[in-house]
Amino acid sequence: MKTIKKKFTTETINSMRNMINNTNVSELGCALCEKNNGDIVIGAIVSGNKFDLKFDPKTVNCKSNEKMVGLFHTHPKQPSLENLIRTKSSKPNIEDLTNAYVTGFACIGSQPNKITCLYRKTDNITNEDIIQVEQNINEFRRNVNSYGNMFNSKKINKEQFSNMLTDEHKKRTKQLINKFSVFNL
């Protein structure tokens, strides 16, 4: 973990912070690329929407002389009611943890210039490991949809809905976070 943290140059960290500062409504993201000298730099910047960012290998990539080692994305400044299940901080949400587990390394940025990085503790993951993580997020989504249906049909109020989402998110993130070494830039 210390080794990868030291690979982030001041210029790279400043570029990541500029992305955070330019994130108003839509998430921004990029590949984290390792140069031949070992330094980590950012790849081309892409934009998502207020809820998420889809990393397309055609647009999120590194230069030919660089190796992609992870992903970075920002969380928008302003949380919205529709987005209660996602954190608007550098603290990773369930989707962030799942993506970081599959890719092995990811960083999340938010105001005020906070960057949290997740580095999977093991290089050796099996298809069964990935299936287990995917099952976790699928169950999370099913439960969130169920809570949304209860809220929409007026079976629960806004506060109950918010509490249920928060509890579900905490439960799922707790199950995944122990698979990572976490550090801040």
Beta bridge partners of 28: 47
**79 vs 77: which has the higher pLDDT:** 77
pLDDT of residue 1: 46
pLDDT of residue 150: 92
Specify the residue for token string 């550098």: 90
The whole-number average pLDDT for the span 61-82 is 79
- Measure the CA–CA gap between 26 and 23, rounded to whole angstroms: 6
- Measure the CA–CA gap between 178 and 107, rounded to whole angstroms: 16
Which 3 state secondary structure label does DSSP give 148? helix
| Angle at which helices 94-103 and 158-177 cross, to 10° | 20
The whole-number average pLDDT for the span 59-72 is 88
Q: Which residues of 141-177 are buried (b: 16+ CB within 10 A; e: fewer)?
A: eebbeebbeebeeeebeeeebbebbeebbeebbeebe
C-beta separation of 112 from 174 below 8 A: no
The whole-number average pLDDT for the span 47-65 is 77
The CATH fold of domain 2-125+179-184: Cytidine Deaminase; domain 2 (3.40.140)
Q: Tens of pLDDT along 5-52?
A: 899 999 999 999 999 998 877 889 999 999 999 999 999 888 887 667
The whole-number average pLDDT for the span 59-68 is 86
What beta strand segments (E) does 63-135 contain? 67-74, 105-110, 114-120
pTM of the entire structure? 0.79
Q: Tens of pLDDT along 117-160?
A: 999 988 888 888 888 888 888 888 898 889 989 989 999 998 99
Q: Tens of pLDDT along 168-179?
A: 888 888 878 888
Q: Write the burial class of residue 11 (CB in 10 Å: 0-12 exposed, 13-18 middle, 19+ buried).
A: exposed
